[in-house]
Structure 1
């Protein structure tokens, strides 16, 4: 088995004008990454440096607020909006796997996403597309986060066009399952005040999990912490290359392709360097699909030799089961295949 590596792919031929040969090369590289790793380093994405600079400064402004100020933006767990304090989640529970201790993930986060009002005339409701909460202590947060959100969404849409070409389905195939997609931007912070964590205690930065939807576009600091599961059961450190976004597939992509494309397990270890916690930030844009879209293996991926591995499920039902595990502590008993992969890991 070749050494673990996350391929670096330049998608500029799909962001702007590109020759048929250049676009075909991108499609082939993306398809290979989806089948062998489930992660890729994306460059040529077209997000301006200034947008990312303003965005990261806005994250700093918010996460620097006192904990009590941030806690006023906590929302009910099922809404997937607002602030999540440290140790209020346990991502491994989304796989139906018991964590070492309940609700012990080390990170804090803030979530924004699409609201039902953005999809007039569709079936979108507030139950799946909640309104956003915006902090009032900083005037830079909402405009900077919105600008980055729009860019990350554009990148996700570009990727679905590449996916359609790789899967050899019609060009607008993903429009049917993403034209009122549940999109969420989760901004994570792995730095807590001194003394709030006992070094040496059992810490989980973010527990082992797969992402829930179609594709994730991740911006992150180049600070060690993210680990991705290799096909040999090993955990491997991954950090974004200079100027790159990390992109990975979620469960919806795996279900559509009957596991020919990989929704890869990953986790975040606490960034502890020389006995102290190093600050680490990340922002994951989740392009999950329409709440009412029924996801099942595509006919081209189901044969007598490769029967369907998944029963049909709506995106909303799938996400609710996963969130019920990570946020509410209800073990997700439907994640049988993901839990089996986790059981086979080394270390």
Structure 2
């Protein structure tokens, strides 16, 4: 599979990798080739167009229907589902994702997306004495078939994420089940995003943005999204590039914890969402992100195979709970994350132009 040089802006693209060799019975050689392609994609771009994921079309239609039904509700009804923690409804302009990187110069609480979150609960893991303070309790809107449709997709997204970590293990020459000890009670969250200005808004104000530049917190993110402009990825050459899913693909990107494991050989790629403005108005865009973040009490340390003899550790070991807490304090509470020095420096060094290539 021929891939572009990631350092050449004109040829930037998100590689497509078919993972059907891991979702069906295939030969060892076929899986080895899939793992090789994924390793190239992870070490050059950090975003992947994943094909062969096996999610049925009717499940994706059900998810789309659920997203549309919830966000079509009046704002005052959606606000009745605001709860503490990383669950429930997030109104527009109540978060600033760039502050999760510690960028004090970022416009505070000016991301215009709205979201609804559900996720794995501590009570899902009987006998482990876990706290809902670390996980969160779901709230479900009173909409016909909403919970059923979302839960059907959640099961498949979880399967895809865990399939990918299996491919990760093979690509990194680790035991096939290496990631199981990091994910057997993983903090997983499904975030449904709606990018549309609030009712009655007809103009952009100041530096209003869809979602500020950020990296994802955990191991891997599985994203279903409309084929609508807006999502941008920061290339290694320092330019922002527009990215849309190709037909039949899910977009997948690595999170901070995978970058830590691989000493940044696999980078947690910075991304953002800019307003897709058409004829002076913002075109609506939807996305649904499944965040596979790892066990809340797991310690993430760089793999011995990825330690650099000259420079030593790129990161100090960190407990998943502490990492997520710091990132959420930035995005949701406006407290700059001072630990995200490496990620913030990449943003500050980047070109700020929209859609540069």
- When normalised by structure 2's length, the TM-score is 0.94
Counterpart secondary structure, 2:292: strand
Residue 13, structure 1, aligned to residue 13, structure 2: no
Once residues 146 and 90 of structure 1 are traced to their aligned partners in structure 2, the CA distance between those partners, rounded to angstroms, is 28
Aligned position for 1:74: 82
Q: Give the superposed CA RMSD.
A: 1.1
* Residue 177 (structure 1) aligns with: 182
2:201 is aligned with 1:191: no
Matches of 2:259 and 2:287, distance apart in 1: 24
Q: Is residue 299–residue 319 contact of structure 2 (8 Å, CA) maintained in 1?
A: yes
- Correspondence for 1:135: 141
Unmatched 5+ stretches in structure 2: 1-6, 353-357
Work out the CA distance in 1 between the residues paired with 2:88 and 2:31: 38
Tell me whether 1:305 sits opposite 2:310 in the alignment: yes
Whole-angstrom CA distance in 1 between matches of 2:203 and 2:113:
15
2:109 matched residue in structure 1: 103
**Number of corresponding residues:** 344
**Alignment of 1:255 onto 2:263:** no
Shift of the alpha carbon at 1:131?
A: 1.3
The CA deviation at 1:193 is 4.2
Contact kept? 2:263, 2:313, Cα under 8 Å: yes
- Distance change >3 Å, CA 217–CA 99, structure 1 → 2: farther
CA distance, structure 1, for counterparts of residue 104 and residue 229 of structure 2: 25
The structure 2 residue matched to 1:321, chosen from 326, 333, 346, is 326
TM-aligned CA deviation for residue 190 of structure 1: 0.6
The answer to whether the 8 A contact 1:124-1:180 is kept is: no
Alignment partner of 1:94 is 2:85: no
Q: Distance in 1 between the 2:199 and 2:285 partners?
A: 15
For the 8 Å contact 1:124–1:291, the answer to whether it is kept is no
Match of residue 161 from structure 2? 156
Shift of 1:4: 1.2
Q: In 2, are the aligned partners of 1:189 and 1:280 still within 8 Å (CA)? A: yes
Moved more, 103-112 or 194-203: 194-203
Within 2, Cα distance between the matches of 1:234 and 1:112? 33
SS at match of 2:131: coil
**Unaligned 5+ residue runs, structure 1?**
none
